[in-house]
Amino acid sequence: MKGNAIVGQSGGPTSVINASLAGVFQACQMRGAEHVYGMLHGIQGLLDRKVCDLSERLSSFLDIELLKRTPSSFLGSCRYKLPAPEEDEAVYEKLFGILKDLNIQWFFYIGGNDSMDTICKLSQYGARIGSPIRFMGVPKTIDNDLMLTDHTPGYGSAAKYIGVVMKEIIRDATVYGTNFVTIVEIMGRNAGWLTAAAALARGEDCEGVDLICLPELPFHTDRFLAKVERMQKERASIVIAVSEGVKLPDGRFVCELSDDHRTVDAFGHINLNGTARYLSNLVAKNLPTRTRPVELSILQRCGAHLSSRTDITEAFQVGGAAAKAAFEGETGKMVALYRISNDPYQCTTKLVDIKDVANLEKKVPTTWINDAKTDMLPEFLAYARPLIQAELTPIYINGLTQHIVEG
């Protein structure tokens, strides 16, 4: 069986998407792919024939180790949604032409929902035209919102980042012993998996966050203020984890209440943001306390210096499992993580039909939230805690963590 493999990365960065790239690359090499190509900036770059030969870029064990520790997408990314074949067949003809020129037998795409949609369409079109190319999806997203997989590579490291920094923020916030409300805004527009991870901070050495607000539940500003007021009677420093995506009962995002939420750029893009800032101002105006908004911002997805080794290992594994499946003839599938047990934590991979994954979202079960709607229940902690275990020590050179960069 002769031929080449190609792999692309798509969607938003994570700390471990490059570990999946390493997994695909090494498994394809071992299984005898002549070349393993990388698409530069995903399917969009491929359409412009922007590819590299990965074996030229990744030529040593150190390169692979650095790749596992480098956040964001080594190959670059895109947010390109393939049109349906019936809308624009020319795109497919062009893509399959390029793949034929490159003698591609195995095609891998690492990403979230949109990327799985791409794999779904390509595999269906390929089947229709009788293409021999095997198309495999490799899951990736900090948001943990993919269906049919126990969790997604990327989530564990983001959750570990959130747990570690929430503990540090809580220490910082208590220092003066005076009334203080710190509101920390966490990513996840529709699914609250990342915000829920703030619950991991509580332990013998940490009082934990006082209130967790997920987008899975409607947000009532009056009840929120009442809760904060009540809590602050018992404790001066209150730390709140709030999803950027919390919505009012009428469906508007909370951040839409602020005066300046609509930042329109030169392209006319509207960015919704400022939930923590809005709530921080709201509390400051209504209660006798100082407040501070903190946005974890992009560091929660690119803070590779705090990766979970469990996450890195699984990200590598799903890459390898995708290669194994493709070489064994599977196509139109995504590699999913399947949890066997929580304690001891055991997790393996399985294949799921890509069309059952694409374009669907998995949310936090509301049965994992306590009755007072302030905190996560032990069920969530039992689910999330294994995913943040162990570390992959960063490689420090001259005082800073070392990465590998393309080109």
Residues 230 to 269: which contact a second copy by CB under 8 A?
Answer: 258-260, 263-267, 269
**Cβ count near 365 (within 10 Å):** 12
Using CB atoms within 10 Å of the CB of residue 109, give its burial: 0 to 12 exposed, 13 to 18 middle, 19+ buried: buried
**Binder among 56, 86, 87, 205 for a second copy (CB under 8 A):** 205
Q: Residue 290 CB, nearest distance to a second copy (Å)?
A: 6
- Is the Cβ–Cβ distance between 360 and 163 less than 8 Å? no
In the complex, what is the shortest distance from the CB of residue 85 to a second copy, in angstroms, rounded to a whole number? 25
Residue 377: CB minimum distance to a second copy, A: 18
Looking up tokens 């003698």 gives: 103
Binding residue (CB under 8 A) for a second copy from 298, 340, 360, 382? 298
Residue 225 interacts with a second copy (CB under 8 A)?
Answer: no
CA–CA distance, 284 with 288 (Å, rounded to integer):
7
Residue 402: other Cβ atoms inside 10 A: 14
Tell me if 346 contacts a second copy by CB under 8 A. no
Kindly state whether residue 203 participates in binding a second copy, applying the rule CB under 8 A. yes
Contact 205, 171 (CB under 8 A): no
| 302 scored as a contact of a second copy (CB under 8 A) | yes
Q: Which two three-digit tokens encode residue 154?
A: 């990327």
Least spacing, CB of residue 167 vs a second copy, in Å: 6
| Binding test (CB under 8 A) with a second copy, winner from 285, 329, 367, 372 | 285
Q: Residue 221, interface with a second copy (CB under 8 A)?
A: no
* Residues of span 347-386 touching a second copy by CB under 8 A: 385
Beta strands of 34-75 (E only): which ranges? 36-39, 51-53
Residues 50-109 binding a second copy (CB under 8 A) are: 66, 70-73, 76-79
Give the integer Cα–Cα distance in Å for 388 and 280.
Answer: 29
Question: Which DSSP state fits 376?
Answer: B
Question: Which is closer to a second copy, CB of 284 or CB of 377?
Answer: 284
What is the total residue count of the chain?
407
C-beta of 29 vs 221, nearer to a second copy: 221
Q: Which is nearer to a second copy, 196 or 306 (CB)?
A: 306
Euclidean distance between CA atoms 205 and 182, whole angstroms: 19
**Which residue's entry shows tokens 């002549």?**
34
Interface of this chain with a second copy, residues 1 to 60, rule: CB under 8 A: 13, 40-41, 45
CA distances from 103 to 56, 124, 300 (A): 18, 19, 38
CB of 291 or CB of 331, closer to a second copy: 291
Question: How many H-runs (helices) and E-runs (strands) does the chain carry?
Answer: 13, 15
What would the two tokens of residue 276 be? 């923590």
Nearer to a second copy, 240 or 326 (CB): 240
Active site residue 311: no
Other beta carbons within 10 angstroms of residue 308's beta carbon come to 28
For residues 39 and 16, give the distance between their C-alpha atoms in angstroms, rounded to a whole number: 18
Closest to a second copy by CB, 206 or 377: 206
CB atoms within 10 A of CB 250: 6
Q: Mask: binding to a second copy, 151-180, rule CB under 8 A, as x and -?
A: ---------x--xxx-xxx-xx-xxxx---
Binding status of residue 287 toward a second copy by CB under 8 A: yes
Catalytic residue chosen out of the listed positions 48, 53, 101, 143: 143
Q: Does 183 bind a second copy (CB under 8 A)?
A: no
Rule CB under 8 A: say whether 391 interacts with a second copy.
yes
Burial tier of 182 (Cβ tally within 10 Å: 0-12, 13-18, 19+): buried
Select from 200, 254, 337, 354 the one that contacts a second copy (CB under 8 A): 200
Nearer to a second copy among residue 13 and residue 139 (C-beta): 13
Per rule CB under 8 A, is residue 339 in the interface with a second copy?
Answer: no
DSSP category for residue 256: G
Site size toward a second copy, by CB under 8 A: 79
Catalytic site residues? Answer: 143
